[in-house]
């Protein structure tokens, strides 16, 4: 069971790290100072959450590795993050939409994970949940503001929604690891997450006057390490220093 638990914990860690990394790319570039600060704060929360998951993953692995080894010395195929979070930022509207689609999943996911039979995951989830609620409030309000804003902002976020939609199925579709750990009441029940996710997404998109895409086909693979072309570039940038000068310090 350790093998599955490690895979699951790494998925949570990788997803948090990659999303945090993506959001941090906005630092100094957001359209307004307040939103620049908001994006950096949210990035920091995700990276903090990633550290907690990586520290736990290193313990499960029990091979004397650290959180840094796990983040910096694994290749693309070993990464287990959800595809949605590795997609490029695009414009501010696309980043916002990606964040909203993720937050609407992240909050109910953590609400369930905090009752996990694995007490470490439960503790990290309970901690992260308080932060995720603020993220969702922020991203949902922005989706509404841009969707129900000008004709141009509406068109831009609608386009973002259409482009991102096919990456949302993976959030709420269990793979073999999810199902296996579900039988031990360790992983979150994604059927319940799905219900909550759909409710939030439909409500917010309606308020934002956006049209829910009808596309049914969903892209998957992140949970198994099969990624889009974007992940390799992120890892190249993120891991470059440690790969060049292994274990270097400040």
Instruction: Mark the segment that binds other proteins (CB under 8 A) among 41-49, 68-76, 164-172, 214-222.
Output: 41-49
Stretch that binds other proteins, among 48-56, 150-158, 165-173, 236-244 (CB under 8 A): 48-56
Within 10 A of 238 (CB to CB), how many other CB atoms are there? 15
Shortest distance (Å) from residue 37 CB to other proteins: 6
Handedness of CA 169, 171, 202, 115 (dihedral sign): positive
Chain-centroid distance of CA 156 in Å reads 22
Question: What are the DSSP calls for 168-192, one per residue?
Answer: SHHHH---HHHHHHHTTT-S--HHH
Q: Does 124 bind other proteins (CB under 8 A)?
A: yes
Q: How far is the CB of 179 from other proteins (least distance, A)?
A: 27
Interface with other proteins (CB under 8 A), residue from 1, 27, 29, 37: 37
Closer residue to other proteins in complex, CB, 8/56: 56
Q: What are phi and psi of 46, to 5 degrees?
A: -65, -40
47 near other proteins, judged by CB under 8 A:
yes
DSSP calls for 212-231 = PP--------GGGT---THH
Q: Which of residues 183-212 bind other proteins (CB under 8 A)?
A: 200, 203-204
Sole binder of other proteins in the list 49, 168, 175, 187 (CB under 8 A): 49
Q: Which is nearer to other proteins, 137 or 176 (CB)?
A: 137
Tell me if 35 contacts other proteins by CB under 8 A: yes
Span of 1-9, 122-130, 163-171, 236-244 interacting with other proteins by CB under 8 A: 122-130
- Given 140, 181, 190, 201, the residue binding other proteins (CB under 8 A): 140
At how many degrees (to 10) do helices 151-164 and 92-113 cross? 50
Residue 165 DSSP code: G
Alpha-carbon separation of residue 189 from 108, 158, 174, 242 (angstroms) = 10, 30, 8, 37
Q: Does the footprint of other proteins cover residue 22 (CB under 8 A)?
A: no
């Amino acid at each position: 069971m350790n093998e599955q638990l490690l895979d699951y914990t790494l998925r949570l860690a990788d997803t948090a790290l990659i999303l945090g990394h993506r959001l941090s790319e906005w630092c100094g570039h957001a359209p307004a100072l307040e939103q620049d600060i908001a994006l950096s704060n949210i990035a920091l929360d995700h990276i903090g959450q990633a550290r907690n998951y990586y520290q736990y993953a290193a313990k499960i692995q029990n091979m004397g590795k650290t959180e840094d080894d796990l983040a910096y010395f694994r290749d693309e195929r070993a990464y287990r993050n959800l595809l949605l979070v590795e997609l490029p930022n695009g414009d501010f509207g696309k980043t916002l939409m990606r964040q909203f689609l993720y937050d609407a999943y992240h909050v109910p996911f953590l609400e369930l994970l905090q009752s996990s039979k694995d007490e470490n995951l439960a503790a990290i989830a309970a901690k992260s949940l308080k932060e995720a609620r603020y993220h969702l409030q922020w991203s949902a309000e922005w989706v509404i503001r841009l969707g129900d804003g000008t004709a141009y902002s509406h068109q831009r976020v609608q386009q973002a929604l259409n482009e991102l939609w096919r990456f949302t199925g993976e959030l709420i579709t269990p793979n073999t690891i999810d199902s296996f750990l579900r039988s031990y009441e360790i992983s979150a029940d994604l059927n319940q997450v799905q219900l909550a996710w759909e409710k939030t997404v439909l409500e917010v998109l309606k308020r934002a006057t956006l049209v829910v895409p009808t596309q049914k086909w969903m892209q998957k693979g992140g949970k198994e390490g099969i990624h889009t072309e974007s992940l390799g570039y992120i890892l190249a940038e993120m891991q470059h220093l440690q790969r060049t000068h292994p274990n270097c310090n400040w």
